[in-house]
Amino acid sequence: MSNVKKVLIVGGGIGGLATAIALQKAGIQTEIVEKQKEWNVYGVGIILQSNALRAIDALGLMEEFLAVGTTHSALHIRDSQGNMIFDAPIHPSGKFNMTGGIPRRDLHDILLRTALNHGTNIRMGTTVEVIESAANFVYTTFTDGTSGTYDLVIGADGVRSKVRNMVFGEIEPNFVGQAVWRYTLERPKDIENITMYYGQKAKAGIVPMTKDSAYVFIVTAEPGNPWKPEDQLHVLMREAFNEFGGLIAELSEQISNPKEVVYRPLETLIVEKPWYRDRVILIGDSAHATVPHLAQGAAIAIEDALVLAELLQTDAPLPDILNQFMERRFERCKFIVENSNKLVNWELLQLEGRLPRENNPNAIVAQSLMKMTEAI
């Protein structure tokens, strides 16, 4: 086993908690620092493609996921008025020929509880202030005035990563010209699978999360990333559904509380390899933030955790381990970021009536998700 025995993880989101679980199971002691004083999980629900379910299972959490979340056996594609266009197949990853949906807070709670049960030490309301790498350790000071030494520091602190900017310099994410709106509702009785609706101005969808709940979403073009008044988010979200009919239109009428609307401008980045400097490495959104068009953000973050934990159990020197990590992760994650960005660009061209006929967004989605069924 490598000489990495004690690891600091900066950030307590999906990627950070998954990494803590994987490392603790491998016999490596982990500590998480999270800048938020209390867990305030941002978002509504999350779609987990079959490779994400494979990763959840590898963490040993499939039973807990199924106790809360739900699974989908197909993806229904409809036009803006609800007319069926086609059903997209679910490409299996190992034994998983399904996708999943779960409230983001519930997934976070499962990961948090498991990390704590495995012995991870979590410190809230603090983050790193100084990171200094030596030959055999990393020295850190924290915003609460404490300090510590670690064998490895992992930056899992998201698209606005402080670790990334401290160690790699200022790398800013790119706004892609779109935003997504999400709102939780009671699950319609006849909705078993994810259903997508394609209009002329936007795309929308219904995602089952639990046996009782679902969320509706809509992706809109937002040139210039305009500010949205928080007390009007419910009105603006309903207005975004104006071109839609059928069930999705009926559900949009239930959007009534601006505080429950989750509006997020979409940003993306891919840090050029390598994602490490000495004994500091980036994972998840810190290294490869992606828009949700392929529903792969959480999946590739958890995959990062599994691969890193696997490699750290070998006897190879740490530089070799980190190089192997890059060999297994960079092209796969870059593929998702670039194909997701391609889908954004094609959707924006489609709005302008300038999308070439040979460009088929559904084919790109199918090809991308098939690629992600490959072993990590």
The domains of the chain are located at 6-71+92-173+268-369
d(CA 137, CA 298) in angstroms, rounded, equals 29
Give the integer Cα–Cα distance in Å for 122 and 243.
47
Query: Torsion angle, CA of 299/304/305/308, rounded to 10 degrees?
Result: 160
Q: Hey, is 132 helix, strand or coil?
A: strand
**Mean pLDDT, to the nearest integer, of 126-136?**
95
Domain 6-71+92-173+268-369: give its CATH architecture: 3-Layer(bba) Sandwich (3.50)
Nearest to 214 by CA among 47, 33, 3: 47
CA distance 82 to 325: 44
Compute the average pLDDT of residues 306-331.
97
Helix (H) or strand (E) holding 206: strand 202-208
**pLDDT at res. 273:** 96
**Residue 90 predicted with pLDDT over 90:** no
**194-210, pLDDT tens digit by residue?**
999 999 999 999 999 99
Question: For residues 20 and 61, is the Cβ–Cβ distance under 8 A?
Answer: no
Question: What type of residue is 120?
Answer: T
Q: For residue 91, what pLDDT is reported? A: 80
Count of C-beta atoms within a 10 Å radius of residue 257? 11
Percent of the chain with pLDDT over 90: 90
Handedness of CA 41, 338, 48, 193 (dihedral sign): positive
**Residue recorded with tokens 């890193």:** 308
pLDDT band at 119 (very low <50, low <70, confident <90, very high): very high
Predicted local confidence at residue 86, as pLDDT: 86
Cα gap 205→89, rounded to integer Å = 17
pLDDT digits (tens, 9 = 90+) for 56-76: 999 999 999 999 999 999 999
Give the per-residue pLDDT at 282: 98
Residues 294-314 have pLDDT tens digits of 999 999 999 999 999 999 999
